[in-house]
Structure 1
């Protein structure tokens, strides 16, 4: 099956390694480092597939791929790019590319993709049949706040591009603060339903006895307080996308009605008799592990399989530390747009940010960057300013200089003994539970206020309270 491959790549080291790997598998490889060379070779020879970089010495390798695909409709195109943004992934997909590989890529995966592409061509299928879509608008996706050049985020971007031109149900998984709603919004804004509404509903924020009314609407008089007819989220999202956030917190009875709506494409308002057809694309998200909940009987297994058609796992920030610098700069620009002074970070400051645990993930990083933009005395944020802001985040309420926490930490360190390289884990185990108990004590057991005091999402706080076996009711007082 091996055939003739055109490799368009101006990085000599990459071109050499890729061509050697393909030739070892029996392919004949013609190399060029420019758009001019690409066009010259395409005019004079037949190729079974083309691999092309995006940024070349004489232009953008994606810009005119639509014309090349018209001239060579049976030639699969594989795009290689160091411009590892969601915008590039979407542009690659929208050209009808067979595959997109962000650099650095796995060489074995690339060779396998070339074999698949050439085999598909030999089978008579149109190149790019998996991803062919209409040409996207110029610069599509640039305005979306999804930032990341790490391998983990490149996998997320590639999964997003695979669901843009279909209505498959997507389940976004990840810790609080990782950007699940941003991914849902990107799927909608870049997809074929972008002219329709995007409606979001947070299952954890709605009382259990009201969630069915919120989702499906209700008729006048359906229950006490239903003085008028109300249109639910399903009807509001008709023709567009319905984002079901924190789906793991949905009550069991509502899960049953949701499953029925997903299976039939029809809903019935609470207190109503008429079934209403709805046309919505479902994107769900959760920060919980649903499989143990299925085993415990708190989440329906059939609903899980209905939602988990295309899972997208978002990595925590600690697993993509090489994205922190780009994210921090992005948030500084957003802060300036929101009226705060325009700041910059020096390299030492970025390195310090990269070493933080970021338990609140991207949301916590954004909040920290906004505080830095507000509190920095100079336009260049240095390591001392960051250390000060991070230490303030550790200080308990009523102790602005953090002396009490600092003293306790140093006292623990004095008696902790050898830690074997696990200082962070041991310190966290020693201080996390009393810190949460302190926050609940200061807020009289009010979980929302405690979460705000700690700088955490309320759902994250509730999960950690369960994990740490802390009962917030014991801290409630009359104040």
Structure 2
């Protein structure tokens, strides 16, 4: 049986050599070229079972080549590589029909895994999501080239052709609403409205009216019929921010809407069809809230169809220079003086813990642009500003990560103080082990993109042991959406 042939197009000779050798050792035939014209000729002649192409080539953009390939050979899979590892690269690759997008530098084992999946799976239908707007790169919503951000870009790109419910988790200031807007702006519902509601900012007695609207006379002060956010978002996206702060009675009604697909207004009887995509977000640990009886487990599973975790800024320190320069440039566009950062300033920014995350960094950059006369900001200036702000933010471990033993000790002390009512808890050991074990396994699975074999190896566990722990701890394993 003739082995599959992989067509490789990249203007970097060293990358072509590495790919040719790696694919050859894996049993594939390889043809490589440094330009798009040769690749197109091979495709037209019916050669190849899979295409791996760079984006930037001397004669044509690889992304522009994908629709032409799909027109003449719809079943031919295309894998895109790019050093321009931005959200828009991932989104455009997905919208034009690429099987997968790999940011450079890529892991050879991951690439070979992608090749195997691409050749084994049946061809999917062509994507029907609208193309991203031409000026999208000028208003790029997310900045960062770290591995954590690359995985978020790829997840967003995969969801452009889907209409799934998404749960975004992350600390305050990590950019949860930016991700929600990106999912809307580049998804199937971008022609509709993006409507956001913050559960923590609305009095609990008004939440149902805000969500579902009310009829005239439904309650004291209801002098007119008002549309709720569900109606306003009809055909678009409803972003439920800080969903963990939703009161129990509103949780029950929201669950009913998600189950039945319709709702009445407060004081109304006629059901209204709920034609919206739901994206929820929270900085809280909803699994802990479920255990404490503060959040409905059935609602959690309705919302947590596709989970996206945004890492805190301290976990993506490599992105800080790009983010800082981006915020300084945005401040300049807004009329503030132009500023630059020297290396000592960048080093000082990278060393900070950023309890307020990206929002704290943006505020600092705008403050520097507005208040300091010098054109180049130094590390001493950064240090002085951060020291001035330090008393406003609790940062018990400002010089480095908090030791695990100290964090566990603090958690247990808090737990015990909550049971000073004479009732003796009987499951402290199991609770503490579960709260340490669950995030450890979740983060390892995320790092391996759901590959349990790799995760078991990283954890030093037997694969069957890992499977049992995943089941016992009720951990959702999310694999890539090809």
- Scaled by the length of structure 2, the TM-score of the pair is 0.79
Aligned mate of 2:221, from 216, 219, 225 = 225
Task: Name structure 2 gaps, 5 residues minimum.
Answer: 411-482
Partner of 1:37: 38
Secondary structure of the structure 1 residue equivalent to 2:280:
strand
Query: How do 1:301-450 residues align onto structure 2 when only pairs under 5 Å count?
Result: 301-394=297-390, 425=402
Aligned partner of residue 161 in structure 2, secondary structure: coil
Query: Structure 2 vs 1, CA of residues 396 and 353 (structure 1 numbering), >3 Å: closer, same or farther?
Result: closer
> Is the Cα contact below 8 Å between 1:349 and 1:386 reproduced in 2?
yes
In 2 relative to 1, CA 199–43 (structure 1 residues): closer, same or farther, beyond 3 Å? closer
Equivalent residue runs for 1:192-341 within 5 Å: 192-341=188-337
Query: How many matched pairs?
Result: 405
Separation in structure 1 between the aligned mates of residue 163 and residue 372 of structure 2, nearest angstrom: 46
Shift of 1:237: 0.7
Separation in 1, partners of 2:328, 2:345: 13
Match of 1:172 in 2: 168
Structure 1 214/43 Cα, relative in aligned 2: closer, same or farther at 3 Å? closer
Is the 1:97–1:131 Cα contact (8 Å) retained in structure 2?
no
Note if contact 1:144-1:186 (Cα within 8 Å) is conserved in structure 2: no
Counterpart in 2 of 1:100?
A: 101
CA contact (8 A) 1:6 1:50 kept: yes
Change (3 A) 1:8 1:273: same
| Cross-structure match for 1:56 | 57
CA distance in 1, matches of 2:101, 2:213: 42
Alignment of 1:23 with 2:19, yes or no, is no
Compute the displacement of 1:166 (Å): 2.2
CA deviation map 1:255-291 (0-9, x unaligned): 0000001111111111222211121110000111111
Residue 458 (structure 1) aligns with: none
Query: Shift of residue 144 of structure 1?
Result: 3.0
Which of the residues 134, 139, 143 maps onto 1:138?
134
Contact 2:85 2:103 (8 Å CA) reproduced: yes
Distance 1:94 1:224, change over 3 A: same
- How far is the alpha carbon of 1:70 from its aligned partner? 1.2
Distance, in Å, in 2 between the alignment partners of 1:365 and 1:396 is 14
Q: So what's the TM-score if we normalise by structure 1?
A: 0.79
Q: Is the Cα–Cα contact under 8 Å of residues 93 and 132 in structure 1 kept in the other structure?
A: no
Structure 1 counterpart of 2:72:
71
Shift of 1:200: 0.3
Q: Is the 8 A contact 1:83 1:102 kept in 2?
A: yes
Superposition deviation, residue 43 in structure 1: 4.3
**Contact 2:44 2:72 (C-alpha < 8 Å) held by counterparts:** no
**What CA distance in whole angstroms lies between the structure 2 residues aligned with 1:95 and 1:195?**
18
Equivalent residue for 1:12?
A: 13
Distance 1:221 1:132 in 2: 44
What pairs up with 1:184-199 in 2 under 5 angstroms? 184-199=180-195
Q: Deviations over 1:305-349 (max 9, x none)?
A: 100011111111111111111101110111112221121112221
**Structure 1 residue 165, shift from structure 2 partner:** 2.2
Distance 1:216 1:318 in 2: 39
Alpha-carbon RMSD across the aligned residues, in angstroms, is 2.6
Instruction: Quote the residue 1:475 is aligned against.
Output: none
What secondary structure sits across from 1:209 in the alignment? Answer: helix
Aligned equivalents of 1:259, 1:424: Cα separation in 2? 38
Instruction: Indicate which of 147, 151, 154 corresponds to 1:151.
Output: 147
Residues 158-181 of structure 1 deviation map (CA, whole Å, 9 limit, x = unaligned):
111122222210111111100000
| Aligned pairs for 1:82-93 within 5 A | 82-93=83-94
Contact 1:265 1:279 (C-alpha < 8 Å) held by counterparts: yes
Deviations 1:357-405 (Å, cap 9, x if unpaired)?
Answer: 11111001000111111122222222222122212212579xxxxxxx9
What secondary structure is seen at the aligned counterpart in 1 of 2:119? Answer: helix
Q: Is 2:130–2:187's contact at 8 Å kept on the other side of the alignment?
A: no
Q: Deviations for 1:231-267, whole angstroms, at most 9, x for unmatched residues?
A: 1111111111100000011000100000001111111
Once the two structures are superposed, what CA deviation does each residue of 1:75-117 show, in whole Å capped at 9, x if it has no partner?
1000011111011011101110011111122221211111121
Q: Are the structure 2 counterparts of residues 217 and 110 from structure 1 closer, same or farther at C-alpha, using a change threshold of 3 Å?
A: same
Deviation at 1:423, TM superposition (A): 6.4
Distance in 2 (CA, whole Å) between partners of 1:12 and 1:132 is 35
State the Cα distance separating 1:422 from its structure 2 match.
Answer: 7.4
Alignment check: 8 A CA contact 2:290 2:297 kept: yes
Distance 1:165 1:45 in 2: 28
